[in-house]
Structure 1
Amino acid sequence: MPADPVTTPDARVRIPREIWVLIAAGFVIALGFGLITPVLPRFAQSFDVGATASSVVVSAFAFFRLLFAPAGGRLIARLGERPVYLTGLVIVAISTGATAFAHSYWQLLVFRGLGGIGSVMFTVSAVALIVRLAPPSIRARVSSAYASSFLIGGVGGPVVGGLLGGLGLRVPFIVYAVALLVAAGIVFVFLKDASLRPKEGDPVLPVMAVRDGWRDSAYRAAVGSAFANGWGNFGVRNAILPLFAAAVIVDQSLDQATRESRQALVAGAALAVFAVGNAVGLTFAGRTSDRVGRKPYIVGGLVVSGVFTALTGFSDSLPVLLGLSLAAGLGAGTLNPAQQASLADVVGRERNGGPALAAFQMAQDTGAIIGPVIAGTLVDHGSFGLAFAVTGVITLLAAVPWFRARETHPVRAGALST
């Protein structure tokens, strides 16, 4: 049963100011992250390693996020969201700056991996705050607005990163470190009083443990789709797509300087177009799933994302790659706000959902760790087409549990039961 009373979506309900602060910070973070996405795999390969080793660099970030997730949840409970959020941003900024000056593959792996510790700190802090502050009737709209800030930043970031990559593979990392410090400044100034810790004398909210969530079919399905989303859209796409663009799409007969510049631009364009499709899907699903329900958008998003991801490895030209990236992004964007809103429905506003939210995030990070390593191995010992096909199948399989999962949207669930 939903933890909140049945509410009707209301366009007049405003998004709280604290969430707008997080949205602005999210845009800056995503813009900076987008700068390094097109160049990170090729930066790793500049140390004479193959696709598998370069993919491990992408996975290392998620691996450290996964390891530190339980401790991050405890820190939030003890210190509050704002200090944990700020500390996380600073840690990622320092790690990213150090990455720019890595002189070996192993230094790159360690510096990039350590940034995952800070990443999980500010990610879980933001999600926990949004779950509690978002009015139930506009949860999908809030999730869409927050995710859209990342996507809008993600549209411009890869393009700018591709251009900066032409100036040197280390330059985007320096710019990203500065962007993170800017985001920390935004939160420090405008989010002074936001905290989920109860004030003295306030009742302590009951904790929703993972085992409590696991009894809910929607929570179990969300954990599965989070794993697939991490595998495909956070892991494989960021790790393998730039290598695919460099090896297949760009003319290998060009001189080295021109070829490297084109590779960065093509990879940046493909990731930016994926982000455009993602933004369109987020906007559509965010505006309508508060009325229609969560499941149609989650299932549809997984199917569309899975099919077009599977086809990506068979691209033989830039227009085809861009078209498939746009469609896959549309599916991923349709999935995310509905999935986030469904998770918020399960937790509700009257419980501390920290452990359950952390487990959801850990499932996504696990996918982001395993996916690139397996895909990189498939590239080294098979083909890009095989790597993307397996990733698409994983995404499609994640839709299966949702067919049997309950609808968590209170209005839609009530209509279905009558």
Structure 2
Amino acid sequence: MTITAPDPRPQRLTALFFAVLLDLIGFGIILPLLPFFASDMGASGFEVGLLVMVYSAIQLVMAPTWGRLSDRLGRRPILIIGLVGSAASYALFATADSLLVLFVSRIVGGFGGSTIPVAQAYIADVTPPSKRAGSMGLIGAAFGLGFVIGPALGGILSTISYTTAGYAAAGICLLNAGLALAVLPESRRSEAPPTTPRFDLPEALRQAADSKQVRRILVVYLFLTMAFSALQPTLSLLADARFAMDARQAGYLFALLGLVSVVMQGMLVRRLVPRVGERALLRASAFPFAAGLLLVGLSASTAGLLAGLVLLGLGYGGAIPSVLGLLSRSADPDRQGAALGLGQSVGSSARVLGPLMAGGLFDLRVSLPYVVAAGLVALGLTATTHLSQPGDRPPAD
């Protein structure tokens, strides 16, 4: 009688899921508090945008670097180093007494928070190709839950102090690092070939230049991501300036937005795409996306603000999976890696440009970041006119 050993992959994926989830809860705790904390230190809207931008800029540089290092040193040590780095950044946040220290905390946080590609490589190591897409969804689920739980928890902790919230985020990351050290096994075999190949940006750009469809999708993705990233530095500031909300209430606003987006992405998109296709869903989602931004920016009541966030969550939750699905389906099978890598670079660049733009516009007028962001969505919608649904006849240029 042969006894089959239990498959260790589910346990590894569960451990990884909780590692990513706890990391994102720590990030979410700080999300609604940073603009308030910086403003208390005299920061302008533009400087708050810079605080958000520098984190994304470090991630843009470090994410591929961590991925390549994990091919040489293993996934587990890099993930643990990232968690310890995130904990250090939140401890700096908790003790910050100047904008300079806040900037240092965000830089350190950018280094520590750049390990998502390593988590994706971990999944690739332990999952057969036929099941890899479903397993990658664990990271999306962790993102969604993290951006619901984290801001709500941060808002609650802010009623004690920002310092308490910072130390709580640091403690969660340190606990997470300890758990990863104890229960997360190494996934990479020393003899295995790299699963995180070096991303060649010039080559990817040359390949994208061969396809009008891919170029247009990347333009749409840039506009939509810039539009959404305008919220991160300004939503808390708007809630305070217009409705005298505190950090606790701002945390609930971010949690509401995250919840609606998770429901849209996790439950509705997968049912709608097979029926209408990514292109139609993308175009339809642009309308609540833009309307939500305008309603948030121009709202004169709390009810209007909440309605705008719901519309925004529905629009964003429908648009982003659709545009990424179009990108994947429009690229040649042998160019998938280049296309998706280029998409990741475009998204990261948008998260650098968007907050910087929004912070500067906020200093001019509270509603301006949202009006301009809605305009970016409108430009993105215009750019979808000549997109084709893969499998259909392309529209005339």
User: Which category describes the TM-score, using the shorter chain as reference length?
Assistant: 0.7 to 0.9
User: 2: CA distance between counterparts of 1:39 and 1:186?
Assistant: 27
Check whether the contact 1:144–1:285 (CA below 8 A) recurs between aligned residues: no
Matches within 5 A, 1:339-358: 339-343=323-327, 345=329, 353=337, 357-358=340-341
**Deviation of the 1:149 alpha carbon:** 2.4
Q: Which residue of the partner structure matches residue 88 of structure 1?
A: 82
**Deviation of the 1:207 alpha carbon:** 7.5
Check whether the contact 1:81–1:196 (CA below 8 A) recurs between aligned residues: no
Identity %: 24
Change (3 A) 1:131 1:212: farther
Q: Which residue of the partner structure matches residue 224 of structure 1?
A: 219
| RMSD of equivalent CA atoms | 3.5
Change (3 A) 1:374 1:179: same
Change (3 A) 1:213 1:127: farther
Matches within 5 A, 1:50-69: 50-69=44-63
Question: Structure 1: which amino acid aligns with 2:254?
Answer: L
Question: Structure 1: which amino acid aligns with 2:267?
Answer: F
**Deviation of the 1:344 alpha carbon:** 5.1
Q: Which residue of the partner structure matches residue 303 of structure 2?
A: 319
User: 2: CA distance between counterparts of 1:104 and 1:53?
Assistant: 13
User: 2: CA distance between counterparts of 1:263 and 1:396?
Assistant: 32
Q: Which residue of the partner structure matches residue 38 of structure 1?
A: 32
Matches within 5 A, 1:267-346: 267-288=250-271, 291-292=274-275, 293-343=277-327, 345=329
Change (3 A) 1:291 1:195: farther
User: 2: CA distance between counterparts of 1:112 and 1:402?
Assistant: 35
Q: Which residue of the partner structure matches residue 117 of structure 1?
A: 111
Change (3 A) 1:217 1:19: farther
Q: Which residue of the partner structure matches residue 253 of structure 1?
A: none
Change (3 A) 1:168 1:207: closer
Secondary structure of 2:319's counterpart equals helix
* Higher alpha-carbon deviation: 21-30 or 85-94: 21-30
Q: Which runs of 5+ in 1 are unaligned?
A: 1-14, 251-261
* Higher alpha-carbon deviation: 393-402 or 189-198: 189-198
Question: Structure 2: which amino acid aligns with 1:231?
Answer: M
User: 2: CA distance between counterparts of 1:218 and 1:184?
Assistant: 42
Alignment partner of 1:238 is 2:232: yes
Q: How many residues align?
A: 381
**Deviation of the 1:360 alpha carbon:** 2.7
* TM-score w.r.t. length of structure 2: 0.82
**Deviation of the 1:407 alpha carbon:** 4.0
Instruction: Tell me which of 64, 78, 89 is aligned to 2:72.
Output: 78
Q: Which residue of the partner structure matches residue 391 of structure 1?
A: 373
Alignment partner of 1:26 is 2:8: no
**Deviation of the 1:108 alpha carbon:** 0.7
Q: Which residue of the partner structure matches residue 173 of structure 2?
A: 180
User: 1: CA distance between counterparts of 2:219 and 2:189?
Assistant: 27
Deviation string 1:102-157 (CA, Å, 9 cap, x unpaired) is: 2211111122122112222x122234555784856884x55655323222232222
Question: Structure 2: which amino acid aligns with 1:371?
Answer: G
Q: Which residue of the partner structure matches residue 404 of structure 1?
A: 386
Q: Which residue of the partner structure matches residue 102 of structure 1?
A: 96
Change (3 A) 1:102 1:364: same
Question: Structure 2: which amino acid aligns with 1:103?
Answer: D
Question: Structure 2: which amino acid aligns with 1:182?
Answer: L
Alignment partner of 1:164 is 2:146: no
Q: Which residue of the partner structure matches residue 258 of structure 1?
A: none
Check whether the contact 1:34–1:161 (CA below 8 A) recurs between aligned residues: yes
Change (3 A) 1:198 1:348: farther
User: 1: CA distance between counterparts of 2:32 and 2:224?
Assistant: 19
Question: Structure 1: which amino acid aligns with 2:142?
Answer: S
* TM-score w.r.t. length of structure 1: 0.78
Q: Which residue of the partner structure matches residue 5 of structure 2?
A: none
Change (3 A) 1:363 1:28: same
Question: Structure 2: which amino acid aligns with 1:387?
Answer: P
Change (3 A) 1:379 1:267: same
